[in-house]
Amino acid sequence: MPSIQELIHKFEVGEGSRSVTKLAILLAFIALVITYNVREYRNFMAVEAMETAQLARNIAEGKGFTSQSIRPMSLAMVGAQSGQESEDPMMLKGGHPDIVTPPLYPVVLSLWMKVLPFDFDIPSMRSENFRRYQPEVLISFLNQAIFIASGFLVFLISRRLFDASVAWMSTAVFFGSDVLWRFSVSGLSTMLSLLLFLILVACLVAMERATRAEMEEDSSHPDDAQDEEEGVNHPKPRSLGWFIGLAVVSGLVLGLGALTRYSFLWLLVPSLLYTGLFLKTKRMPVSLIMLVVSLIVVGPWLMRNYQIGGTLFGLHSYDIVMDTEDFPGDRLERALNADISTPDFSAFFRKFLVNAPHIVTEQLPTLGGSWMVMFFFVGLMIPFSNPGLRRLRLFGVVSMLVLIAVQALGRTHLSDMSPLINGQNHLVLLAPLVFMFGVALFFTLLDQLPLTFEGARNVVVVGVFLVVCSPLVFRLLPPRTTPIVYPPYSPPLIQDISFWNQPDELMMSDMPWAVAWYGDRKCLWLTRNVQPDFYTINDEHEVIRSIYLTPLTTDRKLMSEVLKGADHTWARFYMDVQVRQNLPAGFPLKFGFPDVMPDQLYVSDRQRWLPVFQEVTEEQE
């Protein structure tokens, strides 16, 4: 048994000191997770997060891939595909099939919901002191677990590409990214997409290293024996079966990524370019297998979308049309009829020219919420002696150009509702790769600094780390972030109002995603107009039992949007009811709830709130 002196020496300067350091890092990370979740956690604010969560709940409850958050455009697409001879062409009476959200992330969430005890109801006793919605907290735990797994993969990849110093620093910068932490609690599919992207990078790097080893197998290496003694890991040549296996994995990852967010499929372009240029004799079988496997994975889902809605990517097929001059904002999604049969390529080009400068000037300089991106861009002017690093960096640059174009052309009003933290922020997937190369340049420059005292290197490393992670540092400082995202979302109020409707009754609201998620009720997005769209749905397809308006509609600019705006008839409807106490002649919903908040409006076909209030009164008596 070792003596006390030997144990002390082991943990001070021996092999035990590494264990102590790793334990300290682990404890610091746990403290960061707890601090962030306590101080900076916020309820869902992205539309896609709520729509995905309610979709996952439907899957977990055995209702299939059906959505309770319904867009008028989705009704039109489903109705056109099913034909008017059907009794319910728009599929409103039963479960409306979702043609908005890719399936992988909702399925993962549904499995999570079956494992953990999700409590979707907000007790009335908690309404006044409400802070956090329990299901959203549990979903954030899953995403943070994926976030941690991604960080572990960042360490392994950067350790393979560079060295231990770069690996530790890259991982630290990854976990010091304010933007990535915000995505981890957003409820979006970004963390899952990020993990899949890192797996793709790991597969491409492994195949490229094996190809170089194969090309150099017959050349002489006089320093191989010395390198082996020093622990230098040379890539080894691999068999064709090994390459085929990794090609299958890469294609599978690309397909699963596309089933997480459709834009991920565009990464086929840089991936095939990478394999075509750098895999030499294996380029044809690897590229072909990657392409075929990815299409096989995503193909059945695309065919399902086409059979239900008439397009391969559902509503996302029209992302390029949305937010153009002809269809600004959310006009297209809220319309039952829209003439988009003839593509206007000039409008697409204008959309790109409007959105691309914003991405390049505002998102790229702080990609991933870290200043380390500056080192990456400066490093583009410095060549690597290692061809594998040069090739991977080229893959990153090509991926960046592709995703800039995809993000600029696919941008919609959802990016305005939740800037930066939204499902249309595709560039954030490149953050880990950018961090790795930025950190590599930093250590290259650090090695050239004339440091004059012992420990100066550590001081510089810690100082630069604090600077590049300063957005997260400042976010953790006071004041504390309020968890409730109001306006416009108040989960207790939304759930109370939603529960006035029966599960099989149809509501209409300006935020159907929140009604579907918090209220678990079928809700249609406000149509562009009252006549004819509202009456077409109400009279011919499904009776609309109530309408719920929130600050998304009521907090509009009076002159430019309410009085002169062509698409804000519901804002004028709100003013007529609130100011003039007048409903339009012949409007089917006659009763308004008088005690709702001033910036909200609830009208119904009957006084649905009376039984609730009567029960409360009886309980008090």
Q: Are residues 470 and 492 in the same domain?
A: no
Q: Last residue of some domain: 476, 500, 516?
A: 476
Q: Are residues 495 and 464 in the same domain?
A: no
Q: Are residues 448 and 502 in the same domain?
A: no
% of the chain with per-residue pLDDT over 70:
89
Q: Could you tell me the pLDDT band of residue 368, with boundaries at 50, 70 and 90?
A: confident
Q: Are residues 438 and 469 in the same domain?
A: yes
pLDDT of 566: 58
Average pLDDT over residues 366-387: 89
% of the chain with per-residue pLDDT over 90:
60
Q: What is the pLDDT of residues 245-293, one digit of tens each?
A: 999 999 999 999 999 999 999 999 999 999 999 998 889 999 999 999 9
- Is residue 602 pLDDT above 70, yes or no? yes
Other CB atoms within 10 A of residue 557 CB? 12
Q: Are residues 270 and 194 in the same domain?
A: yes
Average pLDDT over residues 285-308: 96
Q: Are residues 402 and 542 in the same domain?
A: no
**106: in domain:** no
Q: How far apart, in whole angstroms, are the C-alpha atoms of residue 207 and residue 181?
A: 31
Average pLDDT over residues 306-334: 91
3-state secondary structure of 532: helix
**Bridge partners of 508?**
524, 547
**603: in domain:** yes
**11: in domain:** yes
Q: Are residues 415 and 496 in the same domain?
A: no
Q: Are residues 552 and 413 in the same domain?
A: no
Q: Could you tell me the pLDDT band of residue 54, with boundaries at 50, 70 and 90?
A: very high
pTM of the shown model: 0.92
Are the C-beta atoms of 94 and 503 separated by less than 8 Å? no
Q: How far apart, in whole angstroms, are the C-alpha atoms of residue 370 and residue 302?
A: 36
How far from each other are the two terminal CA atoms of the chain, in whole angstroms?
A: 74
Average pLDDT over residues 185-198: 96
Residue 29, both tokens: 């990370």
Q: Give Cα separations from 339 to 318, 525, 531 (angstroms).
A: 12, 20, 18
Are the C-beta atoms of 321 and 332 separated by less than 8 Å? yes
Most confident range (mean pLDDT) of 299-313, 410-424, 518-532 is: 299-313
- Is residue 617 pLDDT above 70, yes or no? no
- Which of 298, 292, 322 has its CA nearest to residue 312? 298
Q: How far apart, in whole angstroms, are the C-alpha atoms of residue 91 and residue 70?
A: 11
The region of weakest confidence among 125-134, 335-344, 391-400 is: 335-344
pLDDT of 371: 85
Q: Are residues 341 and 425 in the same domain?
A: yes
Q: Give Cα separations from 167 to 23, 195, 199, 206, 433 (angstroms).
A: 17, 17, 16, 17, 12
Most confident range (mean pLDDT) of 342-346, 551-555, 611-615 is: 551-555
Residue 258, both tokens: 């596309």
**610: in domain:** yes
pLDDT of 88: 81
- Is residue 620 pLDDT above 50, yes or no? no
Q: Could you tell me the pLDDT band of residue 233, with boundaries at 50, 70 and 90?
A: low
pLDDT of 519: 95
The region of weakest confidence among 208-212, 306-310, 525-529, 566-570 is: 566-570
pLDDT of 337: 83
Structural domain of 246? 139-215+235-476
Q: Are residues 616 and 589 in the same domain?
A: yes
pLDDT of 25: 83
**116: in domain:** no
Q: How far apart, in whole angstroms, are the C-alpha atoms of residue 389 and residue 261?
A: 28
pLDDT of 612: 57
Q: How far apart, in whole angstroms, are the C-alpha atoms of residue 70 and residue 525?
A: 6
Q: How far apart, in whole angstroms, are the C-alpha atoms of residue 53 and residue 518?
A: 10
- Is residue 14 pLDDT above 70, yes or no? no
Q: Are residues 371 and 427 in the same domain?
A: yes
- Is residue 214 pLDDT above 90, yes or no? no
Are the C-beta atoms of 276 and 394 separated by less than 8 Å? no
Are the C-beta atoms of 251 and 267 separated by less than 8 Å? no
Residue 37, both tokens: 């979740």
pLDDT of 227: 43
Domain count, the chain: 3
The sign of the dihedral angle between the CA atoms of 148, 151, 157, 162 is negative
Q: What is the pLDDT of residues 92-119, one digit of tens each?
A: 888 899 999 999 999 999 999 999 999 9
Q: Last residue of some domain: 420, 453, 476?
A: 476
- Is residue 497 pLDDT above 50, yes or no? yes
- Is residue 551 pLDDT above 70, yes or no? yes
Residue 44, both tokens: 């869902």
Q: Are residues 460 and 499 in the same domain?
A: no
pLDDT of 17: 60
Q: How far apart, in whole angstroms, are the C-alpha atoms of residue 584 and residue 388?
A: 69
Average pLDDT over residues 448-470: 87
The region of weakest confidence among 138-152, 297-311, 357-371 is: 357-371
Specify the length of the chain in residues. 621
**561: in domain:** yes
Other CB atoms within 10 A of residue 558 CB? 10
**44: in domain:** no
Q: Could you tell me the pLDDT band of residue 3, with boundaries at 50, 70 and 90?
A: low
The sign of the dihedral angle between the CA atoms of 387, 388, 393, 394 is positive
pLDDT of 187: 95
Are the C-beta atoms of 424 and 411 separated by less than 8 Å? yes
**344: in domain:** yes
